[in-house]
Amino acid sequence: MFCALGRARSMLGDTAAARDAYARALALNPRAAAAYSGYLYHLMHDPGASAETIFAEHCRFGDALDASLNAPAPRHAHDRNPERTLRIGFVSGDLRRHAVAHFMEPMFEALGQRGLDLVAYSNLAREDEISARLRGLIPTWRPVAALSDGELAAQIRADRIDILVDLSGHTADNRLPVFALRPAPVQVTWLGYSGTTGLCSIDYRFVYTLTAPPGRLDEQFTEKLVHLPYAMSFKTDPDAPDVGPLPALTRGHFTFGSLNRPNKISADCIALWARVLKAVPDARLLVGAVSEAATAERLLAQFAAAGIGPERLDLRPRLPTRDYLALHNEIDVLLDTFPYAGGTTSNHALWMGVPTLTLAGRTLAQRLGAGIMGKVGLSDWVAESEDEFVAIARRAAAQPDELAALRRCLRERLMHSPNLSTARVADSVALAFRLMWRGWCAGQAPAPIILPRFDE
């Protein structure tokens, strides 16, 4: 019951209430892994939760899961040839029309071209047209939603997976308890969740160097960090509309925007955005994905409490993909959320010529925007303080001609940035898999990996 309440509160954008509902579910059943994941996911959205608290709570999950499973130490009889063809398994509940697929579709294709034998474990009750497209890129595709954790672990062992990759973390439909059973010799988490899993059974975590510079966030992860020198490639919608002119030049006022899901919009976030609107008195704020009346009422009340009236707000419902992309042609600059920054939304915005002003922080979730802006040379859109955030917003609004010029070149920059070559990312990931495997074959404990750039 409390898990259902947590999901409902999350859909309405009330992450604090959602976190508390999952906490109540855990109080009734401390071994409920799905409730624990829901609690941790929403804790990541709490601006009052420190990096230390978030890490400690994730570690507590890992300890509780290990205690509940009481699994024997795994034995893996894999061929320890360090240079043989590797069999890589990917476990995800998001191999469908989802943000993860935007990143993994080009990556699956590229990794398959690099001599890796790929297997997908799709934890979906219902697949879609994107799932069908992904199936064509992966030689072995196994629907596993109906399998128990023990059955899925047994299947992974039977498939002789060398390196098993989690693409979900603590998001919905994850299979983290399977990883705790250690069905593969080397286990990795990547992409789907912007924090640690808390599991000692997962050895490594891929991160982008600009998001997580070596040594800066390492203590927040139970996994050893593998630093990729290139950003994940991002497959944009082929039907995306053309980039329009800067709205401020024709509308007579500046339009800030937010197209992140409403449950990322914290009270602290609204307070900062209100400061921006006060600093640019004629500006308006367009907020997308507001489809529930209760969500709209909450946002209007919070902005009113911060001194911003409804006449300066434009709340829009969730839209089909092409209409959502076209909405960027009504926005001059996006304001990022915190403490959980945008990921897919900021990448879509770059494609539509719109920069995202982001506030960097101490966690990976807070630094997502820093990596996205940095990969196309826009680190000047990364604020290190709230005062700087307001100052950058004010400066952007005062320089519409410069912003218009940036808008015209962003899509081209995204297509040709040296940090965004799918081939280079795939080369880096393939090299990382090889280094992980060589380490396991040699009996070495996992250690951080800093991968070299191939263009230097």
**Would you list the DSSP string of 79-93?**
---TTSPPEEEEEES
DSSP state of 316: -
Q: Are 93 and 173 in contact (CB under 8 A)?
A: yes
Q: Are 219 and 55 in contact (CB under 8 A)?
A: yes
What pLDDT sits at residue 456? 54
pTM confidence score: 0.93
What pLDDT sits at residue 313? 98
Which two tokens mark 147? 């399998």
CA distance 329 to 247: 7
Query: Who's near 38: CB < 8 A, 6+ residues apart?
Result: 3, 6, 7, 10, 18, 22, 25, 170
E strands, 209-351, where? 224-228, 255-258, 284-287, 313-315, 333-335
What pLDDT sits at residue 66? 86
What pLDDT sits at residue 250? 93
Q: Are 233 and 420 in contact (CB under 8 A)?
A: yes
Show the low-confidence residues of the chain (pLDDT under 70): 455-456
Residue position matching structure tokens 């990541």: 44
Which two tokens mark 353? 């010529």
Distance of CA 360 to the CA centre of its chain: 15
Please choose, from the candidates 431, 89, 371, 88, the residue with its C-alpha nearest in 3D space to the C-alpha of residue 234.
371
Cβ count near 143 (within 10 Å): 15
CA distance 104 to 64: 31
Which two tokens mark 239? 């039907």
Phi, psi values for residue 315, rounded to 5°: -95, 125
